Amino acid sequence: MTTRSFLAAVLATGLLASLPVAAQFQKPGDAVKYRQSAFSVMGTHFGRIGAMVQNRVPFDAAALAANAEIVATLSTLPFAAFGEGTDVGDTKALPTVWSQRAKFDAGATRMQQAVVELNSAAKTGDMAKIRPAFGAVGATCKGCHDDFRD
């Protein structure tokens, strides 16, 4: 990567982080579709890690690390799409997302932190570190599903 493209990437990331993302959705249903899509792709890549952790497919450290990197990126996306007024359509989000917002946000943060730790563990290529980190992420998924998902 050139210095120029690196600076462009840093700038783009900074802009993305500072934009009021929720305002980018034209309709509440677009926000629902967006967050479901992000969770769906995230779940696909998390599932590929799970397949290796559970010995259903052979351990490939590079592939696992690539999947963990994708999960880490995707984990930052869905929560901007839970704005007020997006409790619509075929959402499985329970009203508690909005009525217990601080608890929901805390769960989101816990998941994101666990995913960062899984990503670090994945880079070591050491299954003895990856397996517990994978389990910790799964526990944060389940925690939110129990309280906030139909």
Q: What is the contact surface with ligand ASC in residues (CB under 6 A)?
A: 43, 46-47, 50, 138, 141-142
Q: Is 37 exposed, middle or buried (0-12, 13-18, 19+ CB in 10 A)?
A: middle
Rounded to whole angstroms, how far apart are CA atoms 133 and 148?
23
Q: Give exposure, 59-87, as e/b (b: 16+ Cβ within 10 Å).
A: eeeeebbebbebbbebbebbbbbbbeebb
Say whether 51 sits in a helix, a strand or coil. Answer: helix
Q: How far is the CB of 39 from ligand ASC (least distance, A)?
A: 8
Question: Which CB sits closer to ligand ASC, 29 or 138?
Answer: 138
Q: How far is the CB of 11 from ligand ASC (least distance, A)?
A: 33
Radius of gyration of the CA atoms of the chain, in A:
17
Q: How far is the CB of 40 from ligand ASC (least distance, A)?
A: 9
Question: Which CB sits closer to ligand ASC, 43 or 125?
Answer: 43
Question: Which CB sits closer to ligand ASC, 25 or 71?
Answer: 71
Question: Which CB sits closer to ligand ASC, 46 or 82?
Answer: 46
Beta carbons of 118 and 137 less than 8 angstroms apart: yes
Question: Which CB sits closer to ligand ASC, 121 or 141?
Answer: 141
Q: How far is the CB of 142 from ligand ASC (least distance, A)?
A: 3
- Strand ranges, E, within the chain: none
Q: How far is the CB of 3 from ligand ASC (least distance, A)?
A: 39
